Amino acid sequence: MKKIILIAWLLGTLLMPLSAQLSNQMIQSLKKGDIDGFARFFGEEITLIIGKENVELKKEEAKSKLNEFFIQNKVLDFELKHQGDRDNSAYIIGALKTSNGEFRLNCFFKKINEDLFIHRIRIEK
pLDDT by residue (tens digit) across 76-112? 999 999 999 888 899 999 999 999 999 999 999 998 8
Q: How high is the pLDDT of residue 44?
A: 96
Q: How high is the pLDDT of residue 87?
A: 84
14 — pLDDT class (breaks 50, 70, 90): very low
Q: How high is the pLDDT of residue 15?
A: 44
- Single out the residue of 77, 81, 65 nearest to residue 121, CA to CA: 65
Architecture category of domain 17-124 in CATH: Roll (3.10)
pLDDT, mean over the chain: 87
Residue 31's SS3 state is helix
What percentage of the chain exceeds 90 in pLDDT?
Answer: 70
26 — pLDDT class (breaks 50, 70, 90): confident
Checking if the pLDDT of 9 tops 90, the result is no
Q: Which helix (H) or strand (E) holds 39?
A: helix 35-39
CA distance 61 to 76: 24
Whether 74 and 98 have beta carbons less than 8 Å apart is answered as yes
* 54-80 tens-digit pLDDT: 999 999 999 999 999 999 999 999 999
